[in-house]
Structure 1
Amino acid sequence: MSLPLMIFAAGKGTRMAPLTDVTPKPLIPVGGQTLLDRALALGDQAGVGRIAVNIHHLGGQIRDHISGRDIAISDESDLLLETGGGLRKALPLLGGGPVITMNPDVIWTGPNPISALLSAWDDARMDALLMLVPLARTHGRQGGGDFSLDAGSRLIRKGDLVYGGAQIIRTDRLGEIPDAVFSLNRLWDLMIAQTRAYGLIHGGEWCDVGRPDCIPLAEGLLDA
């Protein structure tokens, strides 16, 4: 199965300052490769379909970086739309069915998270499938977990499982949210309420690369 991939690359990266004063966070190198290129490589390895990247902060650098590649750009230069609004704006580039979304500012070890999501996706019963990481296998994480799972692997708010920043999600209910700027948490809540949101536990380690001090943590993980 091949699905389109949306990479969220529009954020301001304020936690990564001062590095993001001059470089958008997705173009910060970790282990000799930019975060964006690492995310794109995971998509390529998993055999995704069309790819879209949204841009806002220092977006011209991202546009130049992917120039010449078969990647569509959703330009949010005028208004940063957050994850939900950003995905909705990019839908004409992605199509109307389920979409893979990915945050590039993380490092994964172990199985390719996109491949694992595609293998576990059940089109008949799922509206969302989130890749989750046990808190004990996260690095650079500040705060607790996000979710737990019931016996059927359905999402429950609160728990020791961290959303890793990769998922498959249906997009048809985005139209139910009237705001222009909103988080995908709003869409998840609609799906959780109807027991249509599921989680999958990642089989490796995971590192948040949201702050400068996280870069050596991530590089140590890659070298292990």
Structure 2
Amino acid sequence: MGTRVRQAMILAAGRGERLRPLSDYVPKPLLELGGKSLLHRHLEGFARLGLERVVINIGHLGGQIRASLGRRCMGLDILYSDERDNRLETGGAIVRAREILGDAPFLLANGDVCSDFDWTPLVTADAVETLVLVPNPAHHPGGDFALVNGQVQCPRAGRATFTYAGMARLSGAWFAERVCAPAPLGPWLLDWAAAGLLAGWLHEGRWFDVGTVARWRDARRACGGRHGL
């Protein structure tokens, strides 16, 4: 019997170099689309799922994130993993946050993505570790992974690829032997895919990676000023 997901982590510590000058004054997860910040959009989705707590790693301008959300928001307990003095990248951030997450499963979301993806199938007790994939966007035409019969596989010639959406269900236990030091998550995902450990869910709905000023503006236009995608 598996464990139903009760918690999530949002990766929100990045400097957002490609979003300058916007990110000189506002941390990129607090940039708004349709009148709501990217962070608040994530929290709304997690609250609807009935999650209990969300861990957010903070770095660049992290004090603004704490001031915006506080310790409780939308019925969720908000806990912070403070990296303002030592940024750990996406993998190292999860290793450090494991002090809070423990060995239990959790939902993971990049703080600079926005989507209408329905997480519901990934929170059930019988769900497994899963990456959310999307059709390759124009800025990433080569994709990241193959998807064969619901299983994430490493890309190889002659096999269609998809892009990792920056959203996943993972297990805290998988990070138990990792060293708490700066490290990207991507290579670990490739290792787990090569070992056949990851399921995949292809989302063909709306999804934005708000990683540059141009893509943020595109996403704002797509949202049309509405409070929702």
Q: Secondary structure of the equivalent of 1:213? A: helix
Matched, 1:29 2:32: yes
Matches within 5 A, 1:176-215: 176-178=177-179, 180-215=181-216
Matched, 1:118 2:119: no
Structure 2, unpaired ranges of 5+: none
Who is 2:142 aligned against?
A: 144
Given the two structures, how large is their TM-score scaled by the length of structure 1? 0.87
Matches within 5 A, 1:155-166: 155-158=152-155, 159-166=160-167
48, 52, 61: which is aligned to 2:51?
48
Question: How many corresponding residue pairs?
Answer: 214
Matched letter for residue 164 of structure 1: A
Matched letter for residue 97 of structure 2: A
Who is 1:15 aligned against?
A: 18
How far apart, CA to CA, are the structure 2 residues paired with 1:71 and 1:176?
26
Given the two structures, how large is their TM-score scaled by the length of structure 2? 0.85
How far apart, CA to CA, are the structure 1 residues paired with 2:22 and 2:28?
8
Q: What percentage of aligned pairs have identical amino acids?
A: 35
Q: Secondary structure of the equivalent of 2:213? A: coil
How many angstroms does 1:68 deviate by? 4.3
Matched letter for residue 89 of structure 1: R
How many angstroms does 1:173 deviate by? 2.8
Q: Deviations over 1:19-77 (max 9, x none)?
A: 00111111111111111111111111222221110101011111111114220011011
Matched letter for residue 50 of structure 1: R
How far apart, CA to CA, are the structure 2 residues paired with 1:107 and 1:175?
29
Matched letter for residue 73 of structure 1: Y
Distance 1:204 1:178, change over 3 A: same
How far apart, CA to CA, are the structure 2 residues paired with 1:175 and 1:95?
9
How far apart, CA to CA, are the structure 2 residues paired with 1:32 and 1:115?
25
Distance 1:77 1:89, change over 3 A: same
Matched letter for residue 75 of structure 1: D
Matched letter for residue 157 of structure 1: C
Q: Is the 8 A contact 2:30 2:37 kept in 1?
A: yes
Instruction: Output the aligned Cα RMSD.
Output: 2.0
Q: Is the 8 A contact 1:130 1:167 kept in 2?
A: yes
Q: Deviations over 1:55-105 (max 9, x none)?
A: 010111111111142200110111111111101111122232111110121
How far apart, CA to CA, are the structure 1 residues paired with 2:60 and 2:86?
10
How far apart, CA to CA, are the structure 1 residues paired with 2:54 and 2:47?
10
Q: Secondary structure of the equivalent of 2:176? A: helix
